Amino acid sequence: MLNPVSKQEVKRYISILDIALINLRKSDLFTTVIPSKIFENAGMEIPILMGVDGEARQIVESYQAGLCFEPESEDDFNRKLHLLLSDPALYEKCKEGCRKLAHDFNRKLLAEQMLHVIKETK
């Protein structure tokens, strides 16, 4: 594990990844969280290996931005990791999914949409 890095350094660290591992403990508590790492890695087209259930998993799966494994399952983790590493077509499909995910969750675009909604309700 590395020590925390500044927000400015995060991009440099992500840029050296082939696959982003995003995992949390298997807990009902985590089924409603959406780790920001999803969006940071998707924005850099890094396929995601997701070990989180709930909303976060639904996002990654619906965009085909990576593969999801059962949290705390070493066997499922190994299977999904092997798939991403051994199937170049799947890997590229996940990169494309990341591009779509990053586009749809673009903060500036979402803020503009929210501003439009606010102006319409006045």
Burial of 31 (0-12, 13-18, 19+ CB in 10 A): middle
Q: What is the DSSP letter of 18?
A: S
Output the pTM of the full model: 0.84
Q: Contact at 8 Å (CB) between 5 and 40? A: no
Q: Check which CATH number belongs to the domain holding 19 and give it.
A: 3.40.50.2000
Give pLDDT tens digits along the chain (122 positions): 778 889 889 889 999 999 999 999 998 888 888 998 999 999 999 999 999 999 999 999 999 999 999 999 999 999 999 999 999 999 999 999 999 999 998 878 778 878 888 888 87
Q: Is residue 1 part of a domain?
A: no
Q: Is residue 32 part of a domain?
A: yes
Q: Is residue 100 part of a domain?
A: yes
Q: Is residue 2 part of a domain?
A: no
* Host domain of residue 71: 7-121
Q: Is residue 104 part of a domain?
A: yes
